[in-house]
Amino acid sequence: MENLTLMNVQEAQANIGSYIQRTPLDHSQTYSKMTNSEIYLKLENMQKTGSFKVRGAANKISKLTSLEKKYGVIASSAGNHAQGVALAASRGGIPATIVMPESAPIAKIDATRGYGANVILYGNVYDDAYEKAKEIQAVTGATFIHPFDDLDVMAGQGTIGLEILEDLPDVDTVLVPVGGGGLISGIAVAIKSLRPKVRVIGIQAAEAASMSEALRSGHPILIDTANTLADGIAVKRAGDLTFDHIKQWVDDIVTVTEDEISAAILSLMERAKSIAEGAGSVALAAALNAKVDITKQKTVLVISGGNIDVNFLAQIIERGLLTNGRSMVFRTILPDRPGNLEKLLILIAKERANVLTVEQVRYDLSVPLRYARVTMTLETLNYEHQEKVLQSIREAGYPFQKDIRH
């Protein structure tokens, strides 16, 4: 097996300078207080194309021969790698074809086309798109740009590690999102070659934990599903090269739940004023939920991307509010007489909960005659506030069912 080296990463840093921008390493007082550590956000969501992926794609494309450039490039991607390849190819005047899953966010599909690539939609997840892209490559002779299982791509991603050490030489721990493993492989090689004692820990979505399963099994395996809102790391099979590098260089891999990811997306919006996609939020999700012991350590969270569909974002915000106790749905039955709904609303107002929606239903066979079913969505401060509101409703004699959407 060929091994990625520090020299490979340093060469990549020289190769891609004109393709990328150096992203900020932002110290967060808010998250530092919340985790009893020193938290720094490596904001790759501010990278060109909105993701770190352009780094690896640019390094790979910079090494193509004249003949390879003539035949063009092809890639498979859920979105971020697609945009990186499309941008790097367009800069060099190279034809690019990208196969994307039909489930890819519309924003990523449109952005990839906007960079001049020919986009083909195929399959439900990345792995389906990958198989289709390999079929097309066999016919066209185009160079396949793998999103993670390629040394040149891994080297490009590893330049993030060099930037972290340049900006924060005394870093203790780096938390990195993991899908196929290209990002963490490159970062780990770069950082640990220079600072062996720095911990590099991978974060996966529990619903797409292909690398965790590979490490458990001793080799990459195909998992049954990769159904997660963190679509950028929804990979059903870990890479072979990346698996070997992760075994050698990475300290640990932990997982986070869908609710933890959605809450992290919402937190980044509110506390850091930063838009991150699901994959870009998993490192924060791990930090906020104590999946890794980072107490009193200088810890970098790699916010790997910010390309998220606006319509999907609305759903995530709603889910995040529910998860954090910031929103509550409950249902009750009221006698259908004038003033009864007003009494309930006054009771809720006294507890300083904000009514977002009210639905009143009379004509339903499940509703007793001369009664109405009322469903409300309330804005609350936290779970403690919710319990206080519900206690007042309970003491007033109203029957209720809480959080009916869970």
pLDDT tens per residue, range 2-43:
899 999 999 999 999 999 999 999 999 999 999 999 999 999
pLDDT score recorded for residue 231: 86
Whole-number Å distance between alpha carbons of 359 and 338: 16
DSSP strand pairing (252-256 vs 143-144): unpaired
Residues 6 or more apart whose CB falls under 8 angstroms from that of 270 comprise none
Whole-number Å distance between alpha carbons of 43 and 61: 24
Q: How confident is the model at residue 404 (pLDDT cuts 50, 70, 90)?
A: low
The catalytically annotated residue of 42, 53, 132, 236 is: 53
Within 10 angstroms of residue 131's Cβ, the number of other Cβ atoms is: 13
The proportion of the chain whose per-residue pLDDT surpasses 70, expressed as a percent, equals 99
Structural domains of the chain sorted by starting position, each given as residue range(s) with its CATH number in brackets = 6-51+161-321 (3.40.50.1100), 53-144 (3.40.50.1100), 325-402 (3.30.70.260)
Whole-number Å distance between alpha carbons of 38 and 199: 15
Question: Can you list the positions of beta strands (E) in 101-218?
Answer: 118-121, 143-144, 173-177, 199-205
Catalytic annotation present for 51? no
pLDDT score recorded for residue 403: 65
Catalytic annotation present for 69? no
pTM listed for this prediction:
0.86
pLDDT at 389 over 80: yes
pLDDT at 406 over 50: no
CB 128 within 8 A of CB 121: no
3-state SS class at 209? coil
Mean pLDDT (the chain, rounded) = 93
DSSP strand pairing (199-205 vs 25-28): unpaired
The catalytically annotated residue of 262, 281, 304, 327 is: 304
